[in-house]
Amino acid sequence: MKEPEIVVLSGENRFDQWKNFLFKDKTGREYKIGAKRNDKDQIVNLVAANANRAVRLIWDVYFREGTEYDIIKSIDPVEGALPEPVKTETQPIPQIDTPPSKSREDAIREGMWFKHRAFALSYSKDLVCAGSIEVKELYDYAERMLGWLNKDMV
């Protein structure tokens, strides 16, 4: 069985599709109160009324078909001071040198260059298949066509 623990409620409460009541603490950990519990309404009211406040969760053990489950036995509001929070060390964010980014115009120009090159090679291949040029002329023809397509991009 777990030891009693003190948590600060976040105010994020909800019912799931089976009418179980779910609530979270400030760390984001979620707790469940079963739908068939006799005192569910009292716990729901207590949790809803104490958002952003500390409560003590007292745990118990529930046995079902030979399996042991930790369940919340009761919830009590905490009066007085909260325990000191655990101090954590902040990690410095490393500085990463990023390469200079290209302007939008340069990126478009580079993308069009690849499209033009693919078009020129494909068209030259089609001319070879049609018998208009020889296979050995394919590369030269594609280069001439690429020069014509890229003339306005320089």
What residues make up the domain containing 115?
104-153
Q: Give tens-digit pLDDT for 49-104.
A: 878 888 888 888 888 888 888 888 888 888 765 566 677 888 888 888 887 887 88
For residue 133, tell me if it sits in a domain. yes
Q: How many CB atoms lie within 10 A of CB 114?
A: 9
Q: Which of 30, 58, 77 is the last residue of a domain?
A: 77
Structure tokens at 62: 């529930």
66/119 same-domain check? no
For residue 96, tell me if it sits in a domain. no
CA 114/CA 112 separation, integer angstroms: 5
For residue 93, tell me if it sits in a domain. no
CATH number for the domain harbouring residue 45: 2.40.50
CA dist list (Å): 64 to 2, 5, 40, 68, 94: 17, 24, 20, 7, 50
What predicted TM-score, i.e. pTM, was given to this entire model?
A: 0.46
CA dist list (Å): 35 to 32, 40, 43, 129: 9, 7, 11, 74
73/9 same-domain check? yes
Q: Which of 40, 58, 77 is the last residue of a domain?
A: 77
Average pLDDT over residues 102-124: 85
The total of structural domains in the chain comes to 2
Q: CB within 8 A of 93, min separation 6: which ones? A: none
73/11 same-domain check? yes
